[in-house]
């Protein structure tokens, strides 16, 4: 009949080619997702602690001067523009503290916040990471302190994920 569309069944070869194309697209998406996840982890758990401990005084001085562009540029390079755009730096001079606010973490070990604190004997780096909340019975977050050798100390699970509660840790 006029206007009817004929639909031809796929041949085994065309179905195989379509399946291979779909599988390749899925692999590419998974690779991109893993690269982003790994980039976030590296930025929050390697780059920032390294900056805090290796270049502490200069890094802290830059923060005091409002020089945040290196942090933003590095976030863009290691992760992506969305991650970099979401990054906020908050200053608490009375506590000798700077807090980095990240995009809402989607998996455990990614951070809600990171804090760089000037101490009597140098600088400290803390993170509040997404915890595992199994069936509502677990911790919402985990507070960690990162040492200058790249290791970290878990300071325990927390039942909060808000900035106000995180700041109380530094009183």
How far, in Å, CA of 165 to CA of 30, rounded?
Answer: 35
Residues in Cβ contact with 138 at an 8 Å cutoff, skipping those fewer than 6 apart: 131, 132, 157
Mean pLDDT by 10 residues, the chain (171 residues): 68 68 62 85 93 86 91 95 96 95 93 94 93 71 87 89 96 88
The residue assigned the tokens 């590095």 is 74
How far, in Å, CA of 122 to CA of 9, rounded?
Answer: 71
- 18-50 residue pLDDT tens: 656 655 665 656 666 789 999 999 999 999 999
Q: Is the pTM of this model over 0.85?
A: no
Q: Where are the domains of the chain?
A: 12-168
């Amino acid at each position: 009949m006029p206007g009817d569309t004929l639909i031809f069944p796929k041949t085994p070869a065309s179905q195989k080619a379509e399946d291979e194309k779909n599988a390749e697209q899925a692999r590419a998406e998974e690779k991109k997702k893993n690269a982003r996840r790994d980039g976030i982890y590296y930025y929050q758990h390697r780059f920032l602690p390294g900056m805090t401990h290796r270049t502490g005084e200069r890094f802290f001085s830059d923060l005091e001067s409002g020089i945040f562009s290196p942090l933003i540029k590095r976030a863009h390079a290691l992760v992506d523009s969305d991650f970099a755009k979401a990054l906020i730096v908050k200053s608490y001079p009375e506590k000798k503290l700077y807090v980095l606010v990240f995009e809402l973490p989607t998996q455990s070990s990614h951070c809600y916040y990171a804090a760089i604190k000037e101490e009597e004997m140098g600088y400290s780096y803390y993170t509040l990471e997404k915890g595992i909340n199994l069936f509502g019975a677990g911790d919402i977050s985990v507070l960690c302190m990162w040492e200058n050798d790249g290791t970290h100390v878990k300071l325990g699970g927390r039942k909060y994920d808000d900035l106000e509660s995180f700041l109380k840790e530094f009183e």
